[in-house]
């Protein structure tokens, strides 16, 4: 039986500078489409977006990530 396609969302929280986050986004885009010059369409249509979160938004969405970053800051 073939499954129906639908939109799936993969979220990834990063604790990084905006420049580093943009570089990581570009690498992920390359994984999804290693040949950006190919004729359309992509076998798996996709879209990527980078959002900067306020401290409160980040605390609500990724509390464990901020806790980990804080703990690692004290190790250095």
**10 is a domain residue:** no
pLDDT computed for residue 2 by the predictor: 78
Number of domains making up the chain: 1
Q: What is the pTM of this model?
A: 0.77
- CB burial of 55-74 (b: ≥16 within 10 Å; e: otherwise) equals eeebeeebeeeeeeeeeeee
**25 is a domain residue:** yes
The whole-angstrom separation of Cα 8 and Cα 6 is 6
Q: Tens digit of pLDDT per residue, the chain (76 long)?
A: 678 989 999 999 999 999 999 999 999 999 999 888 899 888 888 999 999 999 899 999 999 999 999 999 888 7
Domain boundaries, position 24? 18-75
**5 is a domain residue:** no
């Amino acid at each position: 039986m073939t499954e129906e396609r639908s939109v799936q969302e993969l979220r990834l929280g990063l604790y990084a500078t905006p420049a580093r986050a943009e570089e990581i986004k570009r690498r992920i885009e390359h994984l999804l489409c290693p040949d950006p010059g190919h004729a359309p369409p992509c076998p798996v249509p996709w879209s990527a977006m980078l959002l900067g979160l306020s401290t409160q938004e980040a605390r609500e969405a990724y509390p464990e990530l901020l806790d980990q970053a804080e703990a690692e800051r004290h190790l250095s």
